Structure 1
């Protein structure tokens, strides 16, 4: 008998269009022998089920259900394809936990922690995970530009603390450009992290629980056509994503072990994709994504394909683990 699966997509952040693409790919690749998929758009102004003809039916938020032609439909599980808030920062994970509905991403604490770059790096540093030098700002703080430069140097990166897809990120080369970069970041979040520039090879490492085992997928090397791996590089084809990465076996072993350690230390579940830059042969963590892009062109599905895992197998595995945990 088919299980009813809500594929949640959209969200409240600047990433909602990317999330809709991911969600539609999940919908198109579900095993229809096992699952009946329902596309659910969660937007600030509405939560609705999207029928194949484009019509909309409101979601009852009390029990996360829909009613179609008088039939009350409850969901056996949720496939989370929301990048950013509320799908990647813990809110939905907590909501579904309270309702007792299994979902494919990590638990709410891990989602909230990994979405907060500052807190994530602080938790991992005692475990020997190397990172860039950093400086923190909250909205309303005095912006002491000389102090910032003294702490992290130039060039540096100014980032929104809780945002994805490189929204609110600027690379700053000169002191006079710092204030504008801070203003750009504050448009995305009321917290900022400013990090030293790491000069080295950038890689992306997917780690998933596959058939009950923590599995590190083939590593992807990121070569941006732009100054860094920004939105255009990620989504508009202005980069090369080379899998497997052109790094030595020793470097591959180091970053794979680090990514697996991060996954296990944080007690992660579901998907994760973490970004690293090698400095003097050592991987330095940039961030961890718990709801990475899931289109055919996205990095984690590319890595899975290199490992011999199709999109249908990738999504089926995620649902199986969620429904049986």
Structure 2
């Protein structure tokens, strides 16, 4: 390993989370350049799937692989489909490039909210009662109670709606189905929204940051998530029983999905216990995002968190090209 670790930071992508991904990548580039330990190679994937180099010039896939192979490790920060869902991990593995974060299987399963529910329920972790609705079955679905309607494979609350009246159901389903053709309709859970960040280490241990509570009286939609004043409370005020239950459930999901690097596991804390909402294998990674703020509250500054992720990725077994 050279004195400076050559890191490719990949942002952008073809998903609706393109702009969020650009923000994560830009923030990581600034922080890594300030450590004195990293030579940073920023790469961007445009909305049309075209790769661009450090000067913003377009590259084809073969040229991108050449640049990536010239780096010791990649930090992929493409949120949502065509990135976080295992697509980019698969590309990097075929290219023989070491990378930070979860592999193909973990990314694909966690991005699919319906499959994630099935995994959680197999582990005995509660989830909100829900129904999978497709374009074929949507016309026959009937409103009976307040529900949350959300795409199965989208993040950042894109395409999601809170439905409190029967007449709102049809538009909500059409909106969600526009993001992948499948939607999850879940009963509204009455509880506090609490997120847990889990960082798995190469020796199999976990660093679990102090949980974060989303303090919101309304639906935590895209605009609220990425506004100037995100309503977070860190650490979340929890009793010992709640804290233990969240930690156990988060690490069990992390391990069952075979996550690597850092993942954010989102829950509702209810009177009956903890209820899993979803798992994010490539969570927002600007300095003001939830995961960095959780670790910062425990004394791990943002640049140090990025350094840990990169150092740990380099300790993983080498990725071989096809």
1:292 to 252, 258, 283: 283
Question: Equivalent residue for 1:57?
Answer: 57
How much does 1:11 deviate? 1.0
Question: Equivalent residue for 2:320?
Answer: none
Residue 130, structure 1, aligned to residue 126, structure 2: yes
1:248 to 209, 224, 239: 239
Question: Equivalent residue for 1:20?
Answer: 22
2:145 to 148, 154, 158: 154
1:238, 1:30 → 2: CA distance? 25
Question: Equivalent residue for 1:85?
Answer: 81
Q: Which has the higher contact order (CA 8 A, sep 6+)?
A: 2
Gaps of 5+ in 2: 317-322
1:86, 1:258 → 2: CA distance? 28
CA RMSD of aligned residues (A): 1.8
CA contact (8 A) 2:133 2:184 kept: yes
Partner of 1:131, secondary structure, is coil
Moved more, 248-257 or 108-117: 248-257
1:211, 1:91 → 2: CA distance? 23
2:70, 2:202 → 1: CA distance? 26
Which TM-score applies when normalising by structure 1? 0.90
How much does 1:33 deviate? 3.5
Partner of 2:170, secondary structure, is helix
Question: Equivalent residue for 1:272?
Answer: 263
Partner of 2:220, secondary structure, is coil
Q: Which has the higher strand share?
A: 1
1:78, 1:232 → 2: CA distance? 30
Question: Equivalent residue for 1:164?
Answer: 155
Residue 174, structure 1, aligned to residue 165, structure 2: yes
* Equivalent residues in 2 for 1:302-317, closer than 5 Å: 302-317=293-308
1:254, 1:237 → 2: CA distance? 31
How much does 1:110 deviate? 0.6
Which TM-score applies when normalising by structure 2? 0.91
1:299, 1:318 → 2: CA distance? 16
Question: Equivalent residue for 2:216?
Answer: 224
CA deviations 1:258-306 (Å, max 9, x no partner) are 1111111222101100111122241100100011111121100000101
Question: Equivalent residue for 1:37?
Answer: 40
How much does 1:239 deviate? 4.4
How much does 1:42 deviate? 0.9
Q: How many residues align?
A: 311
1:247/1:39 CA distance change after superposition, 3 Å = same
How much does 1:238 deviate? 5.8
